[in-house]
Amino acid sequence: MKKKKRDGKFRPIRLENGRFLPVILYAALSALMFILLFFHVRPESLDLDLFSISENTIYAPATVEDQKAT
């Protein structure tokens, strides 16, 4: 068994023919995008008490029309 010489040069880690490198990069990029975009789309939580006056105006996230009443 021969010993490999170490010449002090940086050599990147080689994965088996580079098959897993794109999978790892896509997974890391997907996780990063999910974390960054999650804070823009998560719903705002409100601390409310029943029959109290709100400090801010609260709007419904969707408008639902009552077909029978109209």
Residue 31 included in any domain: yes
Q: Which domain holds residue 22?
A: 15-41
pLDDT tens for 29-54 read: 999 999 999 988 887 788 888 888 88
Separation between Cα atoms, residue 49 and residue 36, nearest integer Å: 32
Residue 19 included in any domain: yes
Q: Hey, what are 70's tokens? A: 């109209």
Angle among Cα 5, 10, 13 to the nearest 5 degrees reads 95
Give the count of domains, the chain.
1
Cβ 58 vs Cβ 43: under 8 Å: no
Residue 4 included in any domain: no
Helix residue spans in the chain (DSSP H): 21-41
Reported as a pLDDT band with limits 50, 70 and 90, residue 64 is confident
* Cα separation of the two ends of the chain: 88
